[in-house]
Amino acid sequence: MNHIKKLMFLSLSLLLFSCEDIIEVSVDQKQVKLVVDAFVNNLDTTQTIRLTRSIPYFQKSGTEPTVTDATVIIADTSNLKVFPFTHTQDGIYTWTPNKSTGDTFVVGRSYALFIIQGGDTLISITKLNPTVNAIDSIITVPTEGNGPPIAGPGKYIELHANDLPGKGNFYWIKTFRNDTFYGATRNLNISQDMGNTSNGQDGELFIYPIRFNALNEFFRPFRDGEKVRIEIHSISLESFYWFNLIVNESNNGGLFSTPPVNIQTNIFSFNPNKKIGIAGLFSMSAVRYKELIIKE
């Protein structure tokens, strides 16, 4: 839908006299929030959780203060097994799974996150949902055309993977080019079942905007020898709407804007009277991935 709005907007500016000016606005940051970046997955690699604090809107990002004195724990709610995350540096807390001791996250189970910091205890519970059964392939698509989503002739990529059968599966599809993640919000690629609406078909190939457009839009074509990596993360319904809001808020201006909203977190304080602000998300994913080297 954002594309539709954008195009309408474009056609409108083409015809008329609209203009956009970057202006100075002085805003006082109303509340500094504790920001929890807790995206954990079931891969064998070291898992990280990062704690920072929010900064004024016009301050350069990357300058967020870090929170280094917290106790961070994930617990398996089925057997109360505890996985402690320890602080390494810059507010980053890590834990490494160990298959031999059975210290891994299991698909289908619910996990609780506890953070103890500054005399307050925060909690969040989420479920580790299954992801797609397999990624069949990443294929290269040589294209001659021009115009969105394609930026000139060259090689583009397409993801071939099927949505899990049954409704109510949500995915976050992460694409890396030469190990660099497509990090801008405009490239955020999420899917509800095989498409981005609730009434699409189910269990088949992801729809075209998800398996093609989102992987290529805003980018130059791939060059020979470049490496592509695609990860499909299962996410919860809650996380899906959280991502949706990020997409919406990152591009929400002009005639057809919706009221700006605060993106709500799924992490809560045990002490409801102590109104500390919390932002961020606790999300657990099962991951499948595939890599491809672009060849001639």
Partner 1 sequence: MFKNAFVFALVSSFFSFAYGQKFTLSGYVKDSASGESINGAIITALNTAESTTTNSYGFFSLTVKSKKQEFRVSASGYEATTETIDLSNNVDIVFSLLSTIETFEEINIRAKLNDNIKKIDISTQSITGKVIKKIPAFLGEADVIKSIQLLPGVTTVGEGASGFNVRGGSIDQNLVLMDEAPVFNSAHLFGFFSIFNPDAVKDVQLVKGGIPANYGGRLSSVLDVTTKDGNQKQPSLNGGVGTIFSRLTLEAPIKKNRSSFLISGRRSYIDVLAKPFLPDNLSDSRFYFYDLTAKVNYSYKRDKFFISTYIGDDVFFAANAFGVKWGNTTVSARWNHVFNKKLFSNLTYYYSRYRYNLEFSNNDDLSFNWTSYIENNSVKADFKYYLNPKNEISTGFQSTYYVFKPGNAVATNPSGTNNFSLPHKYALENAAYISHDANANGKFSVRTGLRVSQFLYLGKSTVYTYNDAPSPGQRRFMDSSWQVGDNEVISNYVNLEPRLGFKYQINKTSAIKGGYNRMVQNLHLISNTSASVPFDVWSPSTNNIKPELADQYTIGYFRNLTIKKQDFEASVETYYKDLMNQVDYVDGANLLLNEQLEGELISGIGRAYGLELYFKKNTGNLTGWISYTLSKSERRVYGINDDNWYPNRFDRLHNLYIVAQYKLNEKWDFAANFVFSSGTPTTFYTGQYTVQGYSIPDAGTNDRNNVRNPDYHRLDLAATYTKKKAGKWETNWVFSVYNAYNRRNPFSIYFQTNYENKGQNEAIQFSVIGSIVPAISYNFKWN
Q: Which stretch binds partner 1 (CB under 8 A): 71-79, 106-114, 147-155, 219-227?
A: 147-155
Of the candidates 165, 279, 163, the residue with the CA atom closest to the CA atom of residue 173: 163
Rule CB under 8 A: say whether 241 interacts with partner 1.
Answer: yes
Cβ-Cβ contacts under 8 Å for 145 (sequence gap 6 or more) = 153
Contact 216, 149 (CB under 8 A): yes
DSSP character at residue 50: E
Q: Which residues of 111-129 are buried (b: 16+ CB within 10 A; e: fewer)?
A: bbbbbebeeeebbbebebb
Site residue total, partner 1 (CB under 8 A):
89
Residue 198-237 contact track with partner 1, rule CB under 8 A, x = bound: xxxx---x-xx---x-------------------------
CB-wise, 12 or 82, nearer to partner 1? Answer: 12
Burial of 276 (C-beta count, 10 Å sphere; 0-12/13-18/19+): middle
253 counts as binding partner 1 under rule CB under 8 A: yes
Note whether 85 binds partner 1 by CB under 8 A.
no
Query: Of 195, 215, 221, 288, which lies in the binding site for partner 1, with binding defined by CB under 8 A?
Result: 195
Taking the least distance from each CB to partner 1, the nearer of 27 and 293 is 27
Question: Could you tell me which stretch among 70-78, 121-129, 247-255, 288-296 binds partner 1 (CB under 8 A)?
Answer: 247-255
Residue 1, both tokens: 């839908």
Q: State in angstroms the smallest separation of the CB of 156 from partner 1.
A: 12
Q: Which neighbouring-strand residues pair with 83?
A: 74
Q: Does 259 bind partner 1 (CB under 8 A)?
A: yes
Residues from 36 through 65 that contact partner 1 (CB under 8 A): 37, 39, 52-62, 64
